[in-house]
Structure 1
Amino acid sequence: MSDRIPSDHASVHTERAEVARSGGTRRPCLHLPADLALEPGSFVRLVIAGDEYHAEVREDRSGFLLRGAYDLKSEARDPGRAENRLVEWLRDEGREPGDPVEIDEIEPGERYGLRLPGERTFYRDTSGPGGSLQDIASDLDGVDSDG
């Protein structure tokens, strides 16, 4: 089994998300398409530029959104002083409110990837034994591997 999955692989479902403002702040966030298998208040793993982070799925009057992505699940639960990797990536890529980004559904309800429209990327395959080993390593590091 391959250890990398391309974003255009048949097993990866891609939707378009839109950059928006987070509430009354100037910080960007992502409005997500309704077609994704998401639950408000759940935590997902989010792959951005090859690195995996943790994000909480939020809900507002227009649907689901992601306000941030963090190194640890505990930081996603309480982001107060943690580095927001989603905001960093959006700013680094010059994404403004109204701009699209692609969101790849790698493992429905659990693992997603972000990329710019038209770009192709590869995701690490965590479905086999390597994924289980990663979960064990995360548990040893004190990180909850349930998303």
Structure 2
Amino acid sequence: MTQRVSSDTTETVRATLAQAGATHRANIEISGDDEDAFPADEIVRIVMDDTEYRARIERPLTGDGRLIRGVYDTPRLARNPGEGENRLAEWFDESNRSFGQSVLIDVVEEGFKYGIRQPGSRAVYEATEEPDGSLADIARQVEDQ
């Protein structure tokens, strides 16, 4: 039986939907106060609207915090964002959110799995544990092929 985790029981971080330069692409800015819950320069699992994707958590070019510039179907696409559809852009286009507004990020499994949702909504996530280091290395090698 799969264990489920409600957004009501997770740590939730309020982040900001921001515009990436003049491109009008959405990204998510996480404040420096909350950056410890998000590993820099790592690929993590992201759940949006009951679908699991992958994203790279990045450091901003200046200042503190973290950035999510895109959400993709596979770890390989998250590492090579020009090769796939950015599901964050689709989610933003279908939401009623505007640049500068808040988005909620649920910390399902710190450093491994997160959920993105609109304020006022609830979500339920499948509990997924991070594989141990050696299994994660093997999985990365397989995904890269």
Q: Could you state the TM-score of these two structures normalised by the residue count of structure 1?
A: 0.81
CA distance in 2, matches of 1:42, 1:81: 18
Name the SS of the counterpart of 2:82 in structure 1: coil
Superposition CA RMSD, Å? 2.5
Q: Which residue of 2 aligns with 1:54?
A: 54
User: What's the CA shift string for 1:21-75, capped at 9, x where partnerless?
Assistant: 1133111110013324223211111000011111011122243110100001000
1 or 2, which has the higher helix percentage? 2
Name the SS of the counterpart of 1:91 in structure 2: helix
CA distance in 2, matches of 1:75, 1:127: 22
- Report if the CA contact (8 A) 2:59-2:66 is conserved: yes
User: What's the CA shift string for 1:100-134, capped at 9, x where partnerless?
Assistant: 11100011111100111011110011239xx89xx
User: Structure 2 regions of 5+ residues with no counterpart?
Assistant: none
How do 1:46-85 and structure 2 match up within 5 A? 46-60=46-60, 61-62=62-63, 63-85=65-87
Question: Could you tell me which of 11, 18, 33 is aligned with 2:16?
Answer: 18
- Structure 1 segments of 4+ aligned residues over 4 angstroms from their partners: none
Q: Could you state the TM-score of these two structures normalised by the residue count of structure 2?
A: 0.82
How do 1:1-147 and structure 2 match up within 5 A? 3-9=3-9, 12-34=10-32, 35-36=34-35, 37-60=37-60, 61-62=62-63, 63-127=65-129, 139=139, 142-143=142-143
- Report if the CA contact (8 A) 1:15-1:33 is conserved: no
Name the SS of the counterpart of 1:8 in structure 2: helix
- Report if the CA contact (8 A) 2:26-2:99 is conserved: yes
User: Structure 1 regions of 5+ residues with no counterpart?
Assistant: none
- Report if the CA contact (8 A) 1:44-1:57 is conserved: yes
> Alignment identity in percent?
38
**CA shift for structure 1 position 91:** 1.1
- Report if the CA contact (8 A) 2:109-2:128 is conserved: no
